[in-house]
Structure 1
Amino acid sequence: MGEIHGLDFINDRTLAIANRDGLVALFALPREEPVGQSRRIAAIRQLRGRQPHKLNSPGSIAVRLESHGRVSVLVCNNYTHLVTRHVVNRWLGYRATSNQLLLKRGLDIPDGIALSHNGKWIAVSSHGTKDVKLYRMSGSLGPESEPAGVLQNAGYPHGVRFTADDRHILVADAGSQMVHVYASDGGWKERREPARSVAVLDEATFLRGRASFDEGGPKGLDIDRSNSIVAVTCEEQPLAFFSLSTILGAVEDCRQGRAIALA
């Protein structure tokens, strides 16, 4: 591991970790209870891709389980502005069997990626265009595919996650104190504004990390398996937890034009 950035679990004992220094490392966790232990383990596989789809500045990643032991690892290559897909096979010790360019059109520094739970959508946050692109999963999806939907006014979007029912998308805005919430109308086509925005950092914490106009705010974001807890992280606030129902339930205040502060 080098310049560690994003990670995702393949299963409860195997995870993929993206390193900005140019590779994705796969690790098998020890079977023993980890509490109170310190253990050095080596990667079971390193993914670098192959030309012309070699990994470059991999940041956020998402894992998708396929058939016949195959696993797709989707990787945001931040500074080449594209998403690559690397297929590994767990029956072959997670050896890569395919590398391809998956998404490119409309992306400018892809900083976050998420898959919908129904398998129909890929969401990719695009830092340079200040939005999140939504691509429909299909056999024809490729680098020239236009996004089917766009989440607008996301500030400087980083982490992105679907709620378990795929009715909402949460987006961490690295340039503000906010997590933005977008609501579905049954799908994710076309353009839409945040339904509400929730402050997850207090002002003092935010200003400490405000080294530039696109820094200081939340970056990492995830929702737990129970779909009840939101985890948020940034440099000045390593890890904080919030109730998902509180973030989604602040309807009236947002209708009146007020942001909600949870920090």
Structure 2
Amino acid sequence: MLAIAAFTRKRCLVLRVDVETGSGGPSVTIHDFMELRSDSIGQVHGLDFIDDRTLVIANRDGQLAIFALPLESMAGQCHEITALRRISGKPFCKLNSPGSIVVRKESRGRIGLLVCNNYTHRVTRHVAVRWLGYRTTGNRPLLRNGLDIPDGIALSHDGHWIAVSSHGTRDVKLYRTSPSLGPDSEPTGILQDANYPHGLRFSGDGRHLLVADAGSPMVHVYDRESGWAGCRAPSRSIAVLDEKTFLRGSASPEEGGPKGLDIDRSNSVVAVTCEEQALAFFALASLIEPQIAAFGTT
């Protein structure tokens, strides 16, 4: 499943996508889709799947909302759905302009929701309990040091690293997860030389971090090498938009480039979205290994 946020239209598009790998590289087929509308979907900016049937979205103009998906009847239909739970945080950890979100599986049926609060310049952590209907039992500030408009967030597959794109400082901060991690923790690593980093994802093996650059037509690839500590530039940058498409959306230096970015479960295909190019697919190998030819499908 692939979900795409429609920020200004206040709805989500969910696609049923199959990825097949072969000798010529991966191929992508979109089998079906549905459009989701709800009173609990506002200016949806970020989203993530809790599982194959449950989606959490972050509304920049409001709260988090968790939905059960009506997957049995996609068929290109529009569905009005009701949230299982709305989450606003608690008095000392209220959500404010929630943008991007990532789900972290925790013990005893708990789900950690790591949320970028764009205009209060921090990441908060909200622990939801499945068997309590996703009621939150813990809400606290998690990250703040070094962040200026956190726009995107990603968690490494081993859970050891949190990456946050910082729009105002024009870089990506990397924090090592630990019980002592908190708002005053210094970032362990800083990824530089992206104009305005936005969406980002770790590769499945954790060796690479891909960063969509909203201020250029590029996706930047950073290599872990011996670790993520210190400052580093991208090892390579690949244009995922042609110049005409980029310039059409470039009303300011901060716009026009790719924003949403994800990697499929097989770790073979990258999906990229932006306003001027709603969806394109690229072979992951073509981005991290420059000698391999790219493919793109819109």
TM-score when scaled to structure 1? 0.94
Q: Distance in 1 between matches of 2:269 and 2:253?
A: 29
Deviation at 1:36, TM superposition (A): 3.6
Q: CA deviation at 1:261?
A: 11
Q: After TM superposition, give the deviation of residue 185 of structure 1 in Å.
A: 1.3
> Is 1:61 the equivalent of 2:94?
no
Cross-structure match for 2:243: 203
Q: Aligned partner of 1:144: which letter?
A: D
Partner of 1:8: 48
User: Could you tell me which residue of structure 2 aligns to residue 219 of structure 1?
Assistant: 259
Distance 2:291 2:229 in 1: 22
Tell me if structure 2 keeps the 8 A contact 1:136–1:148.
yes
In structure 2, the partner of 1:77 is 117
Alignment of 1:15-54 (within 5 A): 15-54=55-94
Give the match for residue 140 of structure 2. Answer: 100
Q: Distance in 2 between matches of 1:31 and 1:169?
A: 31
- CA–CA distance in 2 between the matches of 1:198 and 1:219? 14
Partner in structure 2 of residue 229 of structure 1? 269
Secondary structure in structure 2 of the residue aligned to 1:204: helix
In 1, Cα distance between equivalents of 2:85 and 2:43: 17
Matched position secondary structure for 2:93: coil
What is the one-letter code of the residue matched to 2:56? A
* CA distance in 2 between partners of 1:191 and 1:236 (Å): 32
Q: Give CA-to-partner distance per residue, 1:81-132, whole Å, 9 cap, x none.
A: 0000000000111001111000000000100000001110000000111110
Determine if contact 2:89/2:139 at 8 Å carries over to the other structure. Answer: yes
Residue number in structure 1 paired with 2:196: 156
Question: In 1, are the aligned partners of 2:282 and 2:295 still within 8 Å (CA)?
Answer: no
Residue 105 of structure 1 aligns to which amino acid in structure 2?
N
Aligned residue identity for 1:223: I
1:24 maps to a residue whose letter is L
2:212 touches 2:218 (CA, 8 Å); kept in 1? yes
> Over residues 49-106 of structure 1, what are the superposed CA-to-partner deviations in whole Å (9 max), with x where a residue is unaligned?
1122101111100000100010000000001100000000001110011110000000
* Structure 1 residue ranges (4+ consecutive) displaced by more than 2 angstroms after TM superposition: 35-39, 260-263
Alignment of 1:62-211 (within 5 A): 62-211=102-251
Aligned residues: 257
What is the aligned partner in structure 1 of residue 32 from structure 2? none
Aligned with 1:191: secondary structure?
strand
Structure 1 residue 251 displacement after superposition: 5.9
Query: Is contact 2:283-2:295 (8 Å) kept?
Result: no
Q: CA deviation at 1:38?
A: 3.0
Cα distance in 2 between the residues matched to 1:251 and 1:133: 29
Q: TM-score, normalised by structure 2?
A: 0.83
Name the counterpart of 1:244: 284
Cα distance between partner residues in 2 of 1:35 and 1:86: 34
The SS at the match of 2:140 is: strand
Identical amino acids, percent of aligned pairs: 67
Whole-Å separation in 2 of the counterparts to 1:70 and 1:44: 16
Superposition deviation, residue 262 in structure 1 = 7.0
TM-superposed CA distance for 1:5, in Å, is 0.7
Larger strand proportion of the pair: 2
